């Protein structure tokens, strides 16, 4: 089995697209994250769901989560407002994580080796510069156990 046979589609967003829309894509699709395209149309990073949550939670509360308990619940419920007017590029930040990539003709074991080494929940399957799709780790495990 080769990587392209395991690949599935995932929403791709541009760095200039709206962060709130991107966050909704993740939430509504029950996704681990999204692939983010650079201006040149090439996928260059992943926006994981937890990263969006990290962006929403004020720094002082991340440093001491017990402070979250003293916030008024109505304030706490408005944290998503922080995404308004923000781009995906801003959300990703200046140091985007490297997108773990494999080639379309990589074997199951090659993909597994990548997942194991990078502790990656998701691998982008590339055919030259073109995104074929992604392989999630549960899907990889399913294929491995079915051999």
Residues contributing to the site for a second copy (CB under 8 A): 1, 20, 23-24, 26-32, 48-50, 52-54, 56-57, 61-63, 65-69, 71, 73, 76-80, 106-110, 112-117, 119-121, 136-142, 144-145, 147
Nearest residue (CB) to a second copy, 39 versus 77 = 77
Strand order in the sheet with 43-48: 12-14, 33-37, 43-48
The token pair that represents 79 in the structure block: 């944290």
- Between 12 and 137, name the residue whose CB sits nearer to a second copy: 137
Eight-state DSSP code of residue 72: -
Residue 88 CA to residue 36 CA, distance in Å, equals 8
Choose between 70 and 128: whose C-beta lies nearer to a second copy.
70
Half-sphere exposure of 26 (CA within 13 A, CB side): 21
- Shortest CB 76 distance to a second copy, Å: 4
Closer by beta carbon to a second copy, 41 or else 71: 71
Minimum CB–partner distance for residue 131 and a second copy (Å): 20
Nearest to 8 by CA among 27, 24, 32: 32
């Amino acid at each position: 089995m080769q990587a392209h046979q395991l690949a599935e589609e995932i929403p791709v967003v541009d760095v200039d697209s709206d962060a709130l829309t991107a966050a909704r894509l993740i939430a509504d699709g029950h996704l681990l994250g999204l692939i983010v395209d650079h201006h040149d149309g090439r996928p260059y990073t992943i926006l994981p769901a937890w990263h969006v949550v990290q962006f929403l939670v004020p720094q002082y509360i991340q440093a001491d989560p017990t402070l979250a308990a003293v916030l008024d619940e109505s304030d706490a419920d408005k944290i998503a407002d922080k995404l308004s007017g923000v781009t995906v590029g801003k959300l990703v930040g200046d140091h985007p994580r490297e997108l773990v990539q494999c080639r379309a003709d990589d074997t199951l074991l090659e993909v597994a080796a990548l997942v194991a080494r990078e502790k990656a929940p998701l691998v982008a399957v590339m055919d030259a510069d073109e995104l074929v799709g992604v392989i999630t780790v549960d899907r990889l495990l399913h294929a491995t156990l079915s051999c």
